[in-house]
Amino acid sequence: MKKEDLGHLRKSYDKSTLEITDVKNDPMEFFKLWLAEAVEHPDIEEANAMSLATLGLDDFPKARVVLLKAFTSEGFVFYTNYQSEKGMAIDHHCKVGLSFFWPALERQVIVKGEAEKLAPEDSDAYFKSRPVGSQLGAIVSDQSKMISDRSIIEAKLEALEIQFENEVPKRPEHWGGYLVKPNCIEFWQGRANRLHDRIRCQLQSGFWNLERLAP
């Protein structure tokens, strides 16, 4: 395969600026503001999509996109199969990375933190709020396991649709939420000439320390 040169793909960033004073020593509140702007932007779909990076059992990092489903002053919440590759990776090494990218706003948010399982009752509450199809999908799929053909999971789904036609599915024990407690949150705002604004917030002794980084 010959080299594909992508050097001509360039974009100038000039939509906004970012100062330390904008963050006001509360990065989770500032994240709330940025996320709200991303949700309202007409050119951004799934503003809550984020890359989750983990260190696998093979000691290789792996990133994949998951959906942020809640956040509080404590951190960021997502849901998955605990027996999936990402679930086993978190059991192996709880330190993870999150990354949000909103091109239409020329912004990134980069998070480092530690993931822990939510309380079962919290996972139960979210599971009950999901559409029935999504509930059954969580029961059907042995996520990350090899299957010989898609028809296997489709047949399982059809059987469950009959089984739960008049019942409310319960959350399987292997499925639930994680809370990522951040110890570092970086806000990135694209600027002209690649001199981007970067504000890093590090949690130290219970307080956030803010500093500007060179682009």
| pLDDT at residue 158, as a whole number | 82
| pLDDT at residue 161, as a whole number | 84
| pLDDT at residue 113, as a whole number | 98
CB 186 within 8 A of CB 8: no
194 in active site: yes
| pLDDT at residue 215, as a whole number | 96
DSSP classification of residue 177: E
List average pLDDT for each run of 10 residues in the chain, which is 215 residues long.
88 93 95 98 98 97 98 97 97 98 98 98 96 88 80 82 85 96 98 96 96 97
The first and second tokens of residue 153, run together, are: 């999971």
* Burial grade of 193 (CB within 10 A; 0-12, 13-18, 19 or more): exposed
H helices present in the chain, as ranges: 20-23, 27-40, 85-92, 120-129, 132-140, 150-163
The first and second tokens of residue 188, run together, are: 């990135």
- How far CA 67 is from CA of 49, 100, 199, in Å, comes to 5, 10, 24
| pLDDT at residue 156, as a whole number | 81
| pLDDT at residue 128, as a whole number | 95
Domain ranges in the chain are 20-131+173-213
Q: Which superfamily, per CATH, for 20-131+173-213?
A: Electron Transport, Fmn-binding Protein; Chain A (2.30.110.10)
Question: Which member of 191, 194, 198, 200 is catalytic?
Answer: 194
| pLDDT at residue 148, as a whole number | 81
Nearest to 28, CA basis, from 123, 96, 113: 113
